[in-house]
Amino acid sequence: MVMIAFEQIVAELEPAIARIVASYERNPATRQDLAQEVLFAIFKSLPALRDPAKLRPFIFRIAHNRCLDHVIRHSNRPKLDPLVDDLPGTDASPEQRFLSRERSLTLIEAVRALEIPYRQVITLLLEDLSYTEIAETLGITISNVGVRVNRAKTQLKELLNES
Amino acid sequence: MNNLAANLKKLWIEQDLNITTLNRRLRYGAIYWRALSMISVVAAIAAVGAGSWFAMKAVRQRDLLYALSAFALLVAVPPAAVAEVRARGQGMKWHDQTPEGTIRYALRRTVITERLLRITFFNGCVLSALVTAVWICVLLGLIPKQSCIVTITGIWLGVAMGTLLWVRFKKNSNQRERERCEKLLVEYTKAAE
């Protein structure tokens, strides 16, 4: 029964989990392992979910906590360097694609280079969680969510201006 | 800023990332972790059993080599096994924790690891001392010199040296982990202001 529920959840939330994991880990191979650990943690914790309406905060909390633990163990704070993969291709010319890719990589990398408290609120916001859901996921007040979002935006602008 | 937000949202969602869902691996993972805990318990029971058997042989045959081996097994292995099982038993429930709670748990984990490393270091020293004691007894004629003693003490010394080197390596990585936790706690404290 738990397995069926788990498979349904993974089918629905797998892309979001992958994006959150990617915000903590740059190396694709390590990212796969980390994603498996996140899924395993979700699998083990699922019986504890009491309110199905709070599924997304529940899942994202586990994902962020597991990724945070990974950072503590391995210290993979990303610097603002472009990655090689992860972006979809376009139909533009090679030169246009290269320039567009460089701009895109910097934007995503800037998110990955944010301090973790701010990275967490931004990534959850990008996953369309409300401020209430973000507050519940991170165990903070709604007003603190707002403060962190503003500071995250300021840090993002600074990082993008530096690059 | 609105353009930036819109661009970021689009790029974020369009990231081409795949994670492979290996359900079989998840099931095996659960079995693997339970098995590791069982191995610690079994190893401790086996060590106590072997140590007791050596102790009986030592008393019956008045053999110093058996006595020293019994001492090493009964003194060194059980405390390490108990400490490790207790450490594993303090596992975190991810769904219960806030990010700060996760970091504080990781900090506690470094403290427990430090304790385990001290016990392991002590075991390495006990084993080294045992080898020294055996050879002193051989030189004093208290233990007859047999060819197997060189092999046995050689193995013990190898294990002891390997253990002490491993402890040194783990201590450094544990220290780095603790520093990361402290740095992250500062970030979260600033973010909460």
Question: pLDDT digit string (tens) for A122-132?
Answer: 999 999 999 99
**For chain B, where are the alpha helices, taking DSSP H only?**
2-14, 23-61, 64-89, 99-139, 147-192
- Amino acid of residue B132: T
- Cβ-based burial of A69 (10 A; exposed 0-12, middle 13-18, buried ≥19): buried
Which residues from chain B sit within 8 angstroms of residue A161, using beta carbons? none
Does B31 contact A at CB distance below 8 Å? Answer: no
Which residues from chain A sit within 8 angstroms of residue B181, using beta carbons? 72
Who has greater pLDDT, B81 or B134? B134
Interface of B with A in 8-27 (CB under 8 A): 8-9, 11-23, 25-26
- Cβ contact A17–B19 (<8 Å): yes
- Would you say A121 and A144 are in contact if contact means Cβ atoms under 8 Å apart? no
Please write the tens of the pLDDT for every residue from A130-143: 999 999 999 999 99
Mean pLDDT over residues B80-101, rounded? 76
- Cβ contact A108–B184 (<8 Å): no
Who has greater pLDDT, B67 or B80? B67
Mean pLDDT over residues B45-56, rounded? 89
Q: Is the pLDDT of residue B42 over 60?
A: yes
Band the pLDDT of B112: cuts 50, 70, 90.
Answer: confident
- Amino acid of residue A46: L
Which residues from chain A sit within 8 angstroms of residue B176, using beta carbons? 75
Tell me the helix, strand and coil percentages in chain A, rounded to 5. Answer: 80, 0, 20
Q: How far apart are CA B58 and CA B73, in angstroms?
A: 13
Across all residues in chain B, what is the average pLDDT?
Answer: 82
What's the pTM value of the predicted model, to 2 decimals? 0.78
Among A11, A39, A90, residue whose Cα is nearest residue B25: A39
Q: How far is B34 from chain A (nearest CA, A)?
A: 13
Q: For residue B99, what is the nearest residue in chain A, using CA coordinates?
A: A65
- Cβ contact B184–A72 (<8 Å): yes
- Cβ contact B26–A139 (<8 Å): no
Q: How far apart are CA A57 and CA A113, in angstroms?
A: 23
Q: How far is A119 from chain B (nearest CA, A)?
A: 11
Residue B72 neighbours by CB under 8 Å, 6+ apart = B51, B126, B127, B130
Which residues from chain B sit within 8 angstroms of residue A40, using beta carbons? 26, 29-30
Across all residues in chain A, what is the average pLDDT?
Answer: 81
Band the pLDDT of A82: cuts 50, 70, 90.
Answer: very low
Find which of A118-127, B123-132, B154-163 is predicted with most confidence, using mean pLDDT.
A118-127
- Would you say A46 and A2 are in contact if contact means Cβ atoms under 8 Å apart? yes
Q: How far apart are CA A76 and CA A26, in angstroms?
A: 8
- Cβ contact B95–A48 (<8 Å): yes
Nearest by CB to B9, from A41, A61, A126: name it. Answer: A126
Q: How far apart are CA A10 and CA A3, in angstroms?
A: 10
Residue A53 neighbours by CB under 8 Å, 6+ apart = none
> Does ipTM surpass 0.90 in this model?
no
- Cβ contact B94–A41 (<8 Å): yes
Does B147 contact A at CB distance below 8 Å? Answer: no
Q: How far apart are CA A52 and CA A60, in angstroms?
A: 14
